[in-house]
């Protein structure tokens, strides 16, 4: 699994295997229950191109590379309303950037400034939201600093509040290098507690 | 008013329109991370990181 920030994927070009640059990633859409990335909404290429009515399901992605999202051909794109919940694509809310992270004991940990995604490096593999990058609140003792906080397998997410177990505070990281191990340790601890 | 005053006013108006169009376009193209409430987990159990 490769860890990356959502902000690194947004605006990444979508390229077919023939080499056609047909779109760019606009939004990343993930499941409220479980955190599996369902796919991407798209915007056209070029300065004056707006959002597209076509979306890209994760299962249609051949490779999520460092510089481009590879797909087989244009037929891999589907109507956004078919791929995703209309409530999401209608932009009536749902963007977690800027949302408040609360523990299950009611402590505010900070505001989400980015989302950490773990993507399988094999075709057809899993792509999950595994953590948030937050601007820490006073509760973490380092107000204003950027921290990575791991998520459990079962995420509870809405646009307003993102809930995490209180024990997530013990597994915060400062950079992506050690964050994969922190996520694994955090989830193992939760599994042990059940 | 002299002709150059009209020219300056026209240039200012054009500049404001260009800035407004670029701002609207940047807002339309701005990305995010959206929660899909209709979508359920598609893996059985266990960690993924």
A46-59 pLDDT, tens digit per residue, is 878 888 999 999 98
Question: Which three-class secondary structure state does DSSP give residue B24?
Answer: helix
Which helix (H) or strand (E) element contains residue A5? strand A2-5
Å between B27 CA and nearest CA of chain A = 10
pLDDT at A143: 85
Q: Estimate to the nearest angstrom the gap between the alpha carbon of B39 and the chain centroid.
A: 27
Q: Is the pLDDT score of A43 beyond 50?
A: yes
* Whether the predicted pLDDT of A160 surpasses 90: no
Is the CB of residue B34 less than 8 Å from the CB of residue A30?
yes
Would you state the pLDDT for residue B42?
A: 45
Prediction pTM value: 0.81
Handedness of CA A93, A97, A98, A103 (dihedral sign): positive
Distance of alpha carbon A65 from alpha carbon A39, whole angstroms: 15
**Closest Cα of chain B to A18: distance in Å?**
25
pLDDT band (50, 70, 90) for residue A24: very high
Extract the tokens encoding A121: 């490096």
- More confident position, B41 or A88: A88
Token code pair at residue A154? 């079962």
pLDDT band at A159 (very low <50, low <70, confident <90, very high): low
Interface of A with B in 82-101 (CB under 8 A): 84-85, 87-88, 94-97
| B39 contact residues in A (CB cutoff 8 A) | 29-33, 36, 38, 84-85
Indicate whether A137 pLDDT > 50.
Answer: yes
Q: Residue B43: pLDDT above 60?
A: no
Our CA-based measurement puts residue A85 at a distance from the nearest CA of chain B, in whole angstroms, of: 6
Instruction: Pull the structure tokens for residue A97.
Output: 């950037």
Give pLDDT, residue A14: 96
**B-chain residue closest to A29, CA distance:** B34
A window 104-143, beta carbon within 8 A of B: 115, 118, 126, 128-130
The pLDDT tens digits for A56-112 are 999 899 999 889 999 999 999 999 877 776 445 544 447 889 889 999 888 999 999
Tell me which residue has tokens 């791991």.
A150
State the average pLDDT for chain B: 80
Question: Whole-number mean pLDDT of chain A?
Answer: 86
Q: Which residue of B has its CA nearest to A10?
A: B31
Q: Residue A191 — very low, low, confident or very high, per pLDDT cuts 50/70/90?
A: confident
The whole-number pLDDT of residue A49 equals 84
Instruction: Tell me which of A85, A119, A154, A191 to substitute to probe the interface with B (most B C-beta atoms closer than 10 Å).
Output: A85
Q: Which residues pair with A17 in a beta bridge?
A: none
Mutate: best of A119, A132, A153, A155, partner B, most B CBs <10 A: A153
């Amino acid at each position: 699994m490769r860890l990356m920030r959502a902000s690194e994927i947004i605006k990444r070009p979508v390229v077919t295997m023939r080499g056609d640059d047909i779109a760019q990633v606009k939004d990343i859409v993930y499941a409220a229950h479980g955190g599996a990335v369902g796919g991407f909404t798209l915007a056209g290429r070029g300065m004056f191109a707006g959002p597209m009515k076509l979306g890209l399901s994760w299962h249609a992605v051949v490779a999520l590379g460092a510089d481009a999202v590879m797909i087989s051909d244009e037929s891999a794109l589907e109507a956004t309303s078919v791929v995703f919940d209309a409530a999401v694509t209608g932009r009536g809310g749902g963007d977690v950037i800027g949302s408040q992270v609360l523990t299950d004991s009611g402590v505010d940990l900070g505001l989400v400034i980015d989302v950490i995604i773990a993507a399988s490096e094999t075709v057809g593999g899993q792509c999950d939201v595994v953590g948030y990058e937050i601007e820490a609140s006073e509760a973490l003792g380092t107000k204003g600093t950027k921290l990575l906080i791991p998520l459990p397998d079962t995420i509870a997410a809405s646009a307003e509040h993102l809930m995490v177990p209180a024990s997530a505070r013990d597994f915060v990281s400062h950079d992506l290098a050690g964050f994969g191990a922190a996520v694994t340790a955090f989830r193992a601890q939760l599994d042990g507690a059940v | 008013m002299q002709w150059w005053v009209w020219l300056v006013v026209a240039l200012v108006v054009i500049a404001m329109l260009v800035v407004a169009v670029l701002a609207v376009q940047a807002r339309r193209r701005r990305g995010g991370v959206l929660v899909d409430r209709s979508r359920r987990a598609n893996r059985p159990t266990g960690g993924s990181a």
